[in-house]
Structure 1
Amino acid sequence: MNADMIYDNNRECWMMERNGRTFNLHCGECFELIIGNSKMPCRLELDNQWYVIIHESRFNLRVREVYKIVI
């Protein structure tokens, strides 16, 4: 299922939005991040800021961006 991953400033967490409904995402959640035409398996984590781990590499998420994901 494709969805948008958006940041909720009030809750200070990432949300999955699909068909007008939103669901909280939590540390340790696994999904595929769509980058261009590729789907990259990743895991969502939180330290001082939110990031994803893709193939043992960490990438910080930008809270003003909307990411396409597959759950």
Structure 2
Amino acid sequence: MPMTRTYRDGRMLYDARYDRWTVWDLYAKPCPLHCGEAFDLKVGQHFLPCRIEMDCEWFIEFSNTKFYLHPDVSYWIRVR
């Protein structure tokens, strides 16, 4: 019997008070993200596996490609 994976979608928003990105709509209260956490980020109509990191600014890494996050934008993510 094939194993089915359960995914949950939520939004990732920047919280300037703590200089941190948080996940909304997945848990009872907003959940902060930490460097190295992995999830899927929606790019266009597709969810791509990535991880969040911090240098001088927060960014997403997709297999050796950096995507800098804009604090005024919310991003759709998917977690397993």
Tell me which interval the TM-score lies in, with the shorter structure as reference length.
over 0.9
- SS state of the match for residue 21, structure 1? coil
- Cα deviations by residue, 1:35-60 (Å, 9 ceiling, x for unpaired): 12101100100000000001210110
Aligned residue in 2 for 1:13? 20
Give the partner amino acid of 1:13: R
Equivalent residue pairs, number: 71
Selected match of 2:54 from 33, 43, 46: 46
Give the partner amino acid of 2:36: G
Aligned residue in 2 for 1:4? 11
CA distance in 1, matches of 2:74, 2:47: 15
Selected match of 1:62 from 67, 70, 73: 70
CA distance in 2, matches of 1:52, 1:35: 12
Identical columns (%): 31
- Cα deviations by residue, 1:4-52 (Å, 9 ceiling, x for unpaired): 0000000110000016620000000000001121011001000000000
Give the partner amino acid of 1:14: W
Runs of 4+ in structure 1 deviating by more than 3 angstroms, as ranges, are: none
Q: TM-score, normalised to structure 1's length?
A: 0.94
Give the partner amino acid of 2:66: R
Who wins on radius of gyration, i.e. which is larger?
Answer: 2
Coordinate RMSD, CA, aligned: 1.1
Selected match of 1:24 from 21, 32, 48: 32
Unpaired runs of 5+ in structure 1?
none
Give the partner amino acid of 1:4: R
CA distance in 2, matches of 1:21, 1:37: 27
